[in-house]
Amino acid sequence: MDRLKLEAHPEVLCLAVQQRAKFEGWLKFELAAAASRDGASDLRVEVPLPACADRGDLGFTLDGEPYLVELKTPNSNWRLSGVESRTRPITKNISAIKADVEKMRRAGGGIVAFVLFPVPHGDQRWEAYLKRISTELDAASHCSEVGVDLADDCRATATACAFAVAGMSHSGAQ
């Protein structure tokens, strides 16, 4: 996932963080536009997935290779000054990411990307959730952190991560 898309829109990211408002729809179109500028063809938002009845967030072909992408913007429940409180446990948002992984497996493979926010600046608790997902996937992740300046000299982080997900074999195993 292109962290530059997040860094290029600090006002949007700040609003999302302050309100713990998910921004998957906006990010989907930002990434679709970036893929188009990079030469992607067959670009589709809310693309029907092969081998299952689900839809993926984004599908395109780049350099002759097809890509399927599923996005999530899970908000955490960690307390931060200048950020609205929410009660949905982070574990439920992590479960939604795992469900997207299973969807990509059924579809024959793809990319699952997410932006976890807000994370207290300098806090590494998010790594435990990432490790849990990585272990279940048996896959490496690619992550980067984007700083978000909030009011009263408070700072938060949005952590962008992406995983390649292999498809299921015909026997149902990965």
Query: 93-130: per-residue pLDDT in tens?
Result: 888 888 898 899 889 999 999 999 999 888 888 888 78
Say whether pLDDT at 88 is over 80. no
* Whole-number pLDDT of residue 169: 58
* Whole-number pLDDT of residue 44: 96
- Segment 159-168, tens digit of pLDDT: 999 989 888 7
Alpha-carbon distance of 57 to 35, in angstroms, equals: 13
Residues of the chain above pLDDT 90, percent:
41
Answer whether 165's CB lies under 8 Å from 112's CB: yes
- Using 50, 70 and 90 to split pLDDT, how confident is the model at 143? confident
Tell me the domain boundaries of the chain: 3-166
Q: What is the mean pLDDT of the chain?
A: 86
Say whether pLDDT at 4 is over 70. no
Q: Which residue has the higher pLDDT, 86 or 27?
A: 27
pTM attached to this predicted model:
0.86
Which residues make Cβ contacts (< 8 Å) with residue 153, sequence separation at least 6?
none
Which amino acid does the sequence have at 4?
L
- Using 50, 70 and 90 to split pLDDT, how confident is the model at 172? very low
Which residues make Cβ contacts (< 8 Å) with residue 82, sequence separation at least 6?
18, 150, 151, 152, 154
